[in-house]
Amino acid sequence: MPTIETNLLRCPITKQNLREISANDLPSRADVPNSFGNFTLSHGLVNDNNTYFFPIVEGIALLLPSYAFYIGNELPEQQKMPFDKKRVFEYYNEIDYILNENFSIYSDSAKWVDFRNVSSNYLKKSFIKAKDYLGSKGQYLLDVASGPIGLKEYIKLSENFSVRICVDISFKALIQAKWNLTNQEGIFICADIANLPLKENTCDAVLCQHTLYHVPKDEQGKAVEEMYRVAKPNSKIVIVYSQFYHSWLMNITLLPVQIYRIARHFAGKAFVQLRPASKPRLYFYPHSKQWFYSHFSFSQNIETYCWRSLNKYFLKIFVHKHLGGEKLLNWISQLETKHSKWIGKIGEYPMYVITKKG
């Protein structure tokens, strides 16, 4: 039977401890199937009072409440996944994957990333930046909403840690993450980042890249508080975010494009409300930096740095190989390093680095 480090885990419904159990040892009244999709379901996790069973499939602990099987005596009221969260859940469970440099990545990656050679070095520098803020060593790096970890630079982010705990809402993404993370030890958990099934003070560092803004706006604060809760005292939480229309740099340099993006963004919101049964569309809501600086009891412990100041639209419009594009990006990269805190506040993609005080 594969093992999961249950000493780290807690039940996302009852907040109790979890222990591993064979499906054959479940009570006879438990209505648990023998398979999960194309995978055999042979074991899982149960909470202390033996009321919920969470499958373990292909070494991935399915700790989303919607995957739980009630095995108690009195069936509780079923809770539905909120509409906007369900959109994200369905989007990432339906998306396909493609190979890029022998790594499995999202098939829609080109929508957000400029993969041209002229932009390559600039982008790769940003992909590895979070490593400088996570800490030099530790046992557990929690990768919140890890996705498939589809870039070799993303693999390197956990080099200073013994184990990478990958949490994602998508089982399909975690299958890809296991495939990509073959040379590092990993724990893989399908869960809601606003309800992390981990005990307090368990992680030596926490990383969350390009995901928090896909959480419903009223739950983003809860998600950050969950990251803070599971982090050990004196550790770092690094959140890579998008400022979108809060980015003064992009608003000034790309004014017509930004107007178009904003109009399309709100039109998409309206379309989803009018056609909820249409193809899943990814939810997106960017809070301002002022929200981070005032929303939390630990807001005074939040610092802002630059992950990358430029978005794909800027790169496609202004950066070209035969027009000195690489030199321009090298100069911008130097500015981002030298004035990281300032540019982090005006650029497209800031890093919010939270120190959990001991």
Residue 264, pLDDT score: 87
Give the pLDDT mean for 85-102: 79
Q: Please indicate whether residue 150 or residue 356 has the higher confidence score (pLDDT).
A: 356
Q: How far, CA to CA in Å, does 346 sit from each of 149, 296, 302, 329? A: 27, 21, 16, 17
Per the CB < 8 A criterion, the answer to whether 193 and 169 are in contact is yes
pLDDT category, 341, cuts 50, 70, 90?
Answer: very high
Could you write out the DSSP letters of every residue in 11-34? -TTT--BEEEEEGGGS-TT----S
**What pLDDT, in 10s, does the model give residues 308-340?**
999 999 999 999 999 999 999 999 999 999 999
| Domain residue ranges in the chain | 6-70, 88-355
- Of residues 22 and 203, more confidently modeled: 203
Q: Torsions phi, psi of 157, nearest 5?
A: -60, -25
- Report residue 118: phi and psi, to 5°: -65, -25
Q: What tokens appear for 162 in the block?
A: 């013994």
| HEC assignment per residue over 118-183 | HHHHHHHHHHCCCHHHHCCCEEEEEEECCCCCCCHHHHHCCCCEEEEEEEECCHHHHHHHHHHCCC
**Host H or E run for residue 36:** strand 35-36
Decide which of 3.40.640.10, 3.40.50.300, 3.30.2350.10, 3.40.50.150 is the CATH code for 88-355. Answer: 3.40.50.150
Provide the whole-model pTM.
0.93
Of 27, 26, 9, residue with least CA distance to 18: 9
Q: What is the DSSP letter of 300?
A: G
Q: Where residue 1 falls among pLDDT bands split at 50, 70, 90?
A: very low
- Angle, CA of 281, 287 and 288, to the nearest 5°: 145
Write out the two tokens for 18. 């979890």
Residue 211 CA: distances (Å) to CA of 141, 207, 246, 296:
17, 10, 17, 19
